Structure 1
């Protein structure tokens, strides 16, 4: 395939994802018309079907993009922290704060679970947490326990709390409550 063709394909995919992302965040998945967001970027439904299969496939691509951005943001927080423990704690807090962000709230935490079910991205998050926890165990910051089990437990708590925050009409109040509870749990982890 020529470089120009590859670039054209990537440009089409990027335009569809950007348009769908904006539409899904603004109107929600169910209320978004494929014709509206394809026309918005000068493309047809055929382009959507060719590149993503259907509207659900496009939602999966939007969620993958958002997940990737969230991972990068969380990794940056860990990398900039003064210690692995501070990075881990702030990473957990940041994940809960993300539940208030419009795109994440609507697309990742509300529409994606309802439309896509388990996207598999959760296992990536669990593995990332597991690696952080193993570092904390190896350096004596937290007690040695099976790291995968602890990562599953923490990730499950964070995801469920983020869903709880995202579904509320006043997510700021729920976020404050979730952060207080998280701090109690984090204090209990540290040796």
Structure 2
């Protein structure tokens, strides 16, 4: 019985998140009607309040789902790289390029900060930060980069990537901004390399 109840809760939450994700991506957060959203999910407005506390809580859940998918995609990029350095650069470039995707751009980079505040304080950023710190530590251990402080460097890198993504999302020409951001980031990141590695 308990299992069935937990399955029903998970199904209800999933339906609401799916409906909200479609509505937020199509209409934007402000113009998404909770009545239409719950009707599309075949549920009541009361169900939304019960599971998420309201529209803002639902946005948080949608962003958490998108962020988890982004992290999974970036993990694949890292695993396909031929070296730790290549994985670090490829992951960073992939992260920047994700700012061009309409759903990520609208929900995570435009509506998210407007409704939920500073993205660097979101729980999902902790996972990104830890991943970046691990990459920095591996590069130090492999003697690829200068022996910098991994936490400070990880925060600087994530700040640069997040700032670039927000700039791209708001830019008049997002594709041009993305190209500029990638080129500049690679140049900046290459400054971490030890001289002998830079020459290779």
Q: Same fold (TM over 0.5)?
A: yes
The yes-or-no answer on 1:124 pairing with 2:127 is: yes
Query: Which stretches of structure 1, 4 residues or more, deviate above 3 A after TM superposition?
Result: none
Aligned residue runs from structure 1 range 1-191, under 5 A: 2-117=2-117, 118-191=121-194
CA distance in 1: counterparts of 2:124 and 2:14, whole angstroms: 20
- TM-score between both structures, scaled by the size of structure 2: 0.92
- Aligned residue pairs total 191
CA distance in 2: counterparts of 1:6 and 1:149, whole angstroms: 41
CA distance in 1: counterparts of 2:186 and 2:123, whole angstroms: 27
Larger deviation: 107-116 or 86-95?
Answer: 107-116
Secondary structure at 2:148 match in 1: coil
Quote how far apart the aligned CAs of 1:3 are.
1.7
- TM-score between both structures, scaled by the size of structure 1: 0.97
Deviations 1:113-140 (A, max 9, x none): 1111132322221111001100000000
CA distance in 2: counterparts of 1:50 and 1:31, whole angstroms: 22
CA distance in 2: counterparts of 1:41 and 1:127, whole angstroms: 35
Secondary structure at 2:43 match in 1: coil
Deviations 1:22-74 (A, max 9, x none): 11111111111101111011111001001100000000000110111111111
- Consecutive unaligned residues of structure 1, counting only runs of 5 or more, are none
CA RMSD of aligned residues (A): 1.0
Quote how far apart the aligned CAs of 1:171 are.
0.8
- Consecutive unaligned residues of structure 2, counting only runs of 5 or more, are 195-200
Secondary structure at 2:132 match in 1: helix
CA distance in 2: counterparts of 1:16 and 1:168, whole angstroms: 31
CA distance in 2: counterparts of 1:100 and 1:46, whole angstroms: 35
